[in-house]
Amino acid sequence: MSAATLADHAVAGPRAAETVVRLREVVKTYGDVQALRGVSLDVTAGELVAVVGPSGSGKSTMLNTVGTLDRPTSGTVTIAGHDVGSMRDDDLSRLRAEHIGFVFQHFHLQAGATAAENVADGLLYAGVPRRARMERAVDALGRVGLEHRVGHRPPQLSGGEKQRVAIARAIVGDPTILLADEPTGALDTASGRKILGLLRELNDAGTTVLVITHDLALAASLPRQVRMRDGAVEDDSSTSDAGALADAIVGAGR
């Protein structure tokens, strides 16, 4: 199963130019506060992108928006070809179930459930039968190097292992894009480095990854960095799309 999945992603090469995330002039306001001031961003399939910026720069708001957890106040958000603005809540849920994998800073695992059960929850809302969920969960745990921890519960695991379980949960449904919010923020340096290595491996195998971090050194090691400040994209170091970059600058200067 694992090999087959990886092969699927490998042969997805010709479609690598497909844009999986497309933000245009996205504005998000909370009351008087403008969290996003016109962000435009394109992520194509197979990319590994770091989003960096200080606290309050709008990183998390952008992640919520890309993850369809929150709707923009204005602007358009297109995820895996779906225009988020026109979708009902149920359809957004389905979009998340099928296309988006989340990794959180604090793991958010069920303490009473085994690693495999936690990972299987990643397929619960995609309508996969229980037996198939468990099989794929064990398989996903293998992909993050935790085949020996299948029956362990989170309290029996180290921080790094917990984050691996969380990553397995995020990728068990083979999402179009993996969103990671400060995935190394709650880990020591060594564990954090291993998690980053795992994200690279997954990316090499074909998964599109968007990592939010305030760790500049970590970000610098990734192929593309999006720097945010005051709710706008300040710099997109490897953006080949000049238009998007210009949009970002306009948005920042407004």
Question: Which stretches of the chain bind other proteins, using CB under 8 A?
Answer: 60, 63-64, 67, 69-70, 89-90, 93-94, 96-98, 100, 102, 104, 106, 108, 110-113, 121-122, 124-127, 130, 169, 181
Question: Shortest Cβ distance from residue 99 to other proteins (Å)?
Answer: 9
Q: C-alpha dihedral over 49, 145, 123, 114, to 10 degrees?
A: -130
- A 10 A CB-CB count for 32 gives 5
Question: Shortest Cβ distance from residue 137 to other proteins (Å)?
Answer: 13
Considering the complex, state which of residue 173 and residue 251 has its C-beta at the smaller distance from other proteins.
Answer: 173
Task: Tell me which residue of 36, 77, 52 sits closest to 177, measured CA to CA.
Answer: 77
Considering the complex, state which of residue 50 and residue 244 has its C-beta at the smaller distance from other proteins.
Answer: 50
Considering the complex, state which of residue 131 and residue 148 has its C-beta at the smaller distance from other proteins.
Answer: 131
Q: How far apart are CA 31 and CA 25, in angstroms?
A: 19
Look up residue 85 and give its two tokens.
Answer: 């603005």
Question: Shortest Cβ distance from residue 136 to other proteins (Å)?
Answer: 14
Question: Shortest Cβ distance from residue 156 to other proteins (Å)?
Answer: 15
Considering the complex, state which of residue 25 and residue 121 has its C-beta at the smaller distance from other proteins.
Answer: 121
Q: How far apart are CA 205 and CA 224, in angstroms?
A: 17
Query: Residue 116 forms beta bridges with which residues?
Result: none
Task: Tell me which residue of 58, 102, 57, 59 sits closest to 79, measured CA to CA.
Answer: 102
Question: Shortest Cβ distance from residue 128 to other proteins (Å)?
Answer: 8
Considering the complex, state which of residue 15 and residue 108 has its C-beta at the smaller distance from other proteins.
Answer: 108
